[in-house]
Amino acid sequence: MSILKVDRLGHAYGRYQVIEDISLEVQPGELTALIGPNGAGKTTFYNAVSGKFRPTRGRIFFDGRETTGLPAHKLVPLGLLRSFQITNIFPDMAVIENVLVPLVLQHKKGYAFFGSLRREKALFGRAEAVLGKIGLLDQAYRKARELPYGDKRLVEIAIVLARNPKLVLLDEPTAGMNPEETDRMIRLIKELAESFGTTFFLTEHDMRVVFSIASRIFVLYQGRLLAEGSPDDIRGDEKVREAYLGGSADVKG
């Protein structure tokens, strides 16, 4: 059974149809990518699936149940999380506190008015474990805003992974990163997918990242699904080549 199934999904802002008639399925454990030139509708697709708004048309099924229109905070406990293209973390909080936020919520302590946060040893332990996996443990007590850009993106990943999600939507995880940081991210994603069985569904402009991670690729063009298949299928696809002709600068190897 697919972990994510999208049926004729469409979304319009007023009269402007951003995405239309998208149907796809993501299998559990499969590293999947969504690519397409700028303006193709990738982020809108992610926004609809991750609960930022209700899509104007179509249905979404996550892990067997219909989730169309459910707001983000209700999708998170079900195991659907996302990261953002523009780093979206808690800048003035310590790195470890950033990771504690989803953990507190996961353990239903969001309304614990009276408990002492410092005494939540289990939560701190888990947060440290997550940071260790990501490689940020030594920065745990620094303010998130002080970290270099690449590390901030990692904090974002840490927040997303803290709750052991089933499906993670990664919106351009390597945006703005230098080659070294990009490599690190690629390795990290592969490791995490392997150790935890998390399904990663990422969208990227950096084709190197896409082709080295994904086993299945969906191509979005002008709001519609243009092609889908294995990396080889996509590389050889005429339609895809044409769609990218104008944006060949994006295709890095």
Query: Which residues lie near other proteins (CB under 8 A)?
Result: 50, 71-73, 76-77, 81-82, 84, 88-93, 97, 100-102, 104-106, 109-118, 120, 159, 163
Question: Beta-carbon neighbour count of residue 26 at 10 Å?
Answer: 23
Instruction: Name the nearest CA neighbour of 150 among 129, 186, 180, 127.
Output: 180
Count other C-beta atoms under 10 Å from residue 29's C-beta.
16
By beta-carbon proximity to other proteins, the closer residue of 122 and 245 is 122
Nearest distance from C-beta of residue 161 to other proteins, angstroms: 11
Q: How far is the CB of 110 from other proteins (least distance, A)?
A: 5
* Of 46 and 211, CB closest to other proteins: 46
CB of 120 vs other proteins, minimal distance in Å: 7
Residues in the chain: 253
Q: What is the smallest separation between the CB atom of 230 and other proteins, expressed in angstroms?
A: 31
Q: Give the nearest distance from C-beta 123 to other proteins in angstroms.
A: 8
How many other C-beta atoms can be found within 10 angstroms of the C-beta atom of residue 122? 10
Distance of alpha carbon 195 from alpha carbon 13, whole angstroms: 40
Q: Given the complex with other proteins, which of 172 and 228 has the nearer CB atom?
A: 172
Distance CA 219, CA 81 (A): 21
Residue 50 has which token pair? 């991750």
- Closer residue to other proteins (CB): 26 or 100: 100
Q: How far apart are CA 238 and CA 53, in angstroms?
A: 34
